Amino acid sequence: MFMLKLIFRNAMRHKLRSSLTVVGVAIAVLAFGLLRTLVAAWYLGVESSSASRLVTRNAISLVFLLPASYQEKIRQVPGVTAVSYGNWFGGVYIDEKNFFPNFAVEPKTYLELYPEFVLTPEERKAFLVDRKGCVVGRKLSERFGWNRGDAVTLRGTIFPGDWEFVVRGVYDGSQRTTDETQFFFHWDYLNESVRKTTPRRADQVGFYILGLASPDLAAEVSLFVDGMFKNSLAETLTETERAFQMSFVSMTEAIIVAIRLVSYVVIVIIMVVAANTMAMTARERIAEYATMKTLGFGGWHVAGVVFGESLVLAMAGGCLGVALSFPAAQGIGRTLSQFVPVFRITAETIYLDLLAAFVVGAVAGVFPTWRGATINIADGLRRIA
């Protein structure tokens, strides 16, 4: 009790120095938490992908396409409940800056395979019957102010020209992690145009999506499908949706690693700064620690007082950092919504934030604690004069 009193009063002694330390730790913890959240958001596509869906693509690379005729063959494979297909459209809305993912898909099967994209029955019907209809995610519709019935024009990049669509549905994600920034429309609409302009590229799809009767069948079905098209003109690579998403994320792996590294570096920097501050503080109080020991307090008592102060300051910073991370995450989530569909602080991040603050306090306190605990009393007392 008494020791706690001593620790807290010591911590409040140099108001400016303590405040700066607390704010420093808070900012470091804030940065650490936000960078972590950013990395997690990056991987979200992987996490929210379903284990009971497979993606089949051209074995050479994503850029190469597959014949549309494979659908029927894949549909026959035992264990496959539904097959949809689509192309990455790569359309631009007004400006390249306004990036969002957009696909041409086979609408009926696509909606079947993605039950997490929730549409009302009316929307669903309206979309399916309109060849030029499209469906957009809730976030996307909010971003550009699109409502049902609105006409939207995308400029094609892979498929040149201006493409007109009518928003027939705005889907909500059934899960917290569902991507609400997608845009998809009828593959037929795309294919018909391509057939006229560049017949060479017609009747080809970028990917197939396979629904499985059970996630356990993933390996078996993958092998079977790829075996079917072995030695054909277009060999396939079938993998789980998760692995497929992962291959996208891994393209940016270097950036992610760098971000991770930075998040740790931030903590290390504040650790060094805090250690310096604590060492300075302890040096000023050597005579007090020597006095305590003179009175009969053991090294452990003194160590507790020094270490406690370091922890109190660091944890205060940690708590402040966690508190700030919520409004910060909201702000960042809003600005980055086109890149990362979900940007939210998780409980795990909060624990890690606090753990980081604890480590900062502990490491910063180690050296002064050791000094305080082991000072020679006579030397310590001599300091005062």
Question: Do the Cβ atoms of 314 and 274 come closer than 8 Å?
Answer: yes
Per-residue x/- track, 13-32, another protein (CB under 8 A) = x-------------------
Q: Which of 71, 177, 291, 338 binds another protein (CB under 8 A)?
A: 291
Q: Minimum distance from CB of 295 to another protein (Å)?
A: 5
Report the residue number, 242 or 293, with the smaller CB distance to another protein: 293
Q: State yes or no: residue 309 binds another protein (CB under 8 A).
A: no
φ/ψ of residue 274, rounded to 5: -65, -40
**Interaction with another protein in 203-262: which residues (CB under 8 A)?**
none
Q: Minimum distance from CB of 384 to another protein (Å)?
A: 5
Residue whose pair of structure tokens reads 């009971």 in the numeric block: 52
Report the residue number, 13 or 334, with the smaller CB distance to another protein: 13
Report the residue number, 9 or 334, with the smaller CB distance to another protein: 9
Report the residue number, 157 or 374, with the smaller CB distance to another protein: 374
- Pick the piece of the chain touching another protein (CB under 8 A) from 4-12, 78-86, 113-121, 217-225: 4-12
CA distance 279 to 276: 5
- Pick the piece of the chain touching another protein (CB under 8 A) from 121-129, 150-158, 176-184, 292-300: 292-300
Question: Do the Cβ atoms of 141 and 93 come closer than 8 Å?
Answer: no
Radius of gyration of the chain (CA): 30
Q: Which of 43, 88, 224, 297 binds another protein (CB under 8 A)?
A: 297
Beta-bridge partner residues of 88 = 103
Per-residue x/- track, 358-377, another protein (CB under 8 A) = -------------------x
Q: Count CA atoms closer than 13 A to 213's CA, side-chain side.
A: 10
Determine the 3-state secondary structure of 321 from DSSP.
Answer: helix
CA distance 38 to 262: 12
- Pick the piece of the chain touching another protein (CB under 8 A) from 2-10, 187-195, 241-249, 335-343: 2-10
Question: Do the Cβ atoms of 288 and 309 come closer than 8 Å?
Answer: no
Count of C-beta atoms within a 10 Å radius of residue 109: 19
What is the crossing angle of helices 347-374 and 299-335, to 10°?
A: 150
Instruction: Determine the size of the site formed for another protein (CB under 8 A).
Output: 21
- Pick the piece of the chain touching another protein (CB under 8 A) from 16-24, 168-176, 272-280, 289-297: 289-297
**Interaction with another protein in 34-63: which residues (CB under 8 A)?**
none
Report the residue number, 254 or 295, with the smaller CB distance to another protein: 295
Amino acid type, 79 = G
Q: Which of 210, 292, 313, 375 binds another protein (CB under 8 A)?
A: 292
Beta-bridge partner residues of 80 = 212
Q: State yes or no: residue 293 binds another protein (CB under 8 A).
A: yes
- Pick the piece of the chain touching another protein (CB under 8 A) from 6-14, 44-52, 229-237, 329-337: 6-14
From the list 328, 363, 370, the residue with the least C-alpha distance to 345 is 328
Report the residue number, 86 or 372, with the smaller CB distance to another protein: 372
| Long-range pairs for 120-129: beta carbons < 8 A, 24 or more residues apart | 120/169, 123/148, 123/168, 123/169, 123/170, 123/171, 124/169, 126/168, 126/169, 127/168, 127/169
Q: Minimum distance from CB of 321 to another protein (Å)?
A: 26
**Residue 203, CA distances (Å) to 7, 89, 290 in order:** 75, 14, 85
Q: Minimum distance from CB of 299 to another protein (Å)?
A: 8
Report the residue number, 13 or 283, with the smaller CB distance to another protein: 13
What is the crossing angle of helices 2-11 and 299-335, to 10°?
A: 50
Report the residue number, 86 or 304, with the smaller CB distance to another protein: 304
Amino acid type, 51 = A
Task: Please report, as ranges, the residues that interact with another protein according to CB under 8 A.
Answer: 2, 5-6, 9-10, 13, 287-288, 291-298, 377-378, 381, 384-385
